[in-house]
Structure 1
Amino acid sequence: MTQEITFTRLPTIDPGLIIAHMSDPRVAKHMPLLTGDWSEATVAEFIDKKEECWRRDGLGHWAILANGDYIGWGGLQKEGEEWDLGLVLQPGFFGLGPRITRKAIDFAIADIRIPFVTFLLPPSRKNRRALDRLGAKYIGEILYDGELFLKYRLETE
């Protein structure tokens, strides 16, 4: 059965679902910036930061739903002058990553403000074939908040 993928705003999601998601060690394995335990206060601060992006830029991270159920968060967020595409899924839904990424890229293609998107991957992510198939080009290693990431860029125009 095909899962219907939809995007909604993060404040509509039960904080307990986000706590469980972000507390999973399989998620933390590929998130070097993820530190500390998640609580209702952590989730509230996280959502406030994501909603600030929406107020400032008119776009930000979404909650991602499969058949109406929360499976993760991600989307397009402005980092400086660039639009970064991030995706953090629950482990049982990692396989939907390419499909969700394609949906977010289609959104970026339709938005004239976004001539390209960037992707920051931790070096722990060994399988990067999906980015190659999309046509993303490797830019190089960068430090972000003191952590090493591999940066890719995909033209959307």
Structure 2
Amino acid sequence: MGGAAAYTENGTGPLRFARLTEVPPQELARHMSDPRMADHMPLLTGSWDEAAAREFVAAKEACWQRDGLGHWAFLRGDTYLGWGGFQKEGEEWDFGLVLRADCFGLGPAIARKALEFARADARIPYVTFLLPPTRRHLRPLARVGAVQTGEVQYEGRRFLKFRLETG
């Protein structure tokens, strides 16, 4: 995939999952600097620049090295839509999805594709989701079969925890 010039605002083509290393750091920084991201990401603090984006990608690549799975970049054609995927949290595989604000409507399609992956992967008997209490639209989780298991504290912040059996 080419450099930043290859990224367009009106992506066409099939939805695909790629490694975050395929996305230019300035594209990730622009996404994560959008103030709308912080509305539902209580752990997102400070501003993102290219250096922060590179550190983020390095941390996510370390998860791939350690666990054999991690976060992807979501693309349609050459258009970056957002990032997310599975990250091992203790013995659990947590699923996260962080889309550009203009791509929020693609969340269900991306989640379905990712959950198909999880169901086919023997390492993932179930998936957890941690959502901030500010999330009001929880019906999509119920539609896929996720159930709320309680609340947890993560890095000093409160999250609603859900679980979806994949096996």
TM-score by length of 1: 0.97
| Equivalent residue for 1:67, pick from 63, 77, 85 | 77
Letter in 1 for 2:107: G
Deviations 1:94-119 (A, max 9, x none): 00101101101000001001000000
Q: Which residue of 1 aligns with 2:96?
A: 86
1:8/1:2 CA distance change after superposition, 3 Å: closer
- Say what the alpha-carbon RMSD is for the aligned residues: 1.3
Distance 1:125 1:141 in 2: 13
| Equivalent residue for 1:101, pick from 111, 118, 130 | 111
Q: Which residue of 2 aligns with 1:123?
A: 133
- Alpha carbons 1:6, 1:68 under 8 Å: kept: no
Identity of aligned residues (%): 60
- In the alignment, is residue 15 of structure 1 matched against residue 25 of structure 2? yes
Letter in 2 for 1:8: A
TM-score by length of 2: 0.91
Alpha-carbon deviation of 1:5? 1.1
Query: Unaligned regions of 5+ residues in structure 2, if any?
Result: 1-10
Deviations 1:125-153 (A, max 9, x none): 10000000000010111100100000000
Query: Unaligned regions of 5+ residues in structure 1, if any?
Result: none
Deviations 1:24-83 (A, max 9, x none): 111111000000110111111101100000000000000110233111000111111000
Distance 1:72 1:57 in 2: 22
Q: Which residue of 2 aligns with 1:52?
A: 62
User: Number of residues paired by the alignment?
Assistant: 157
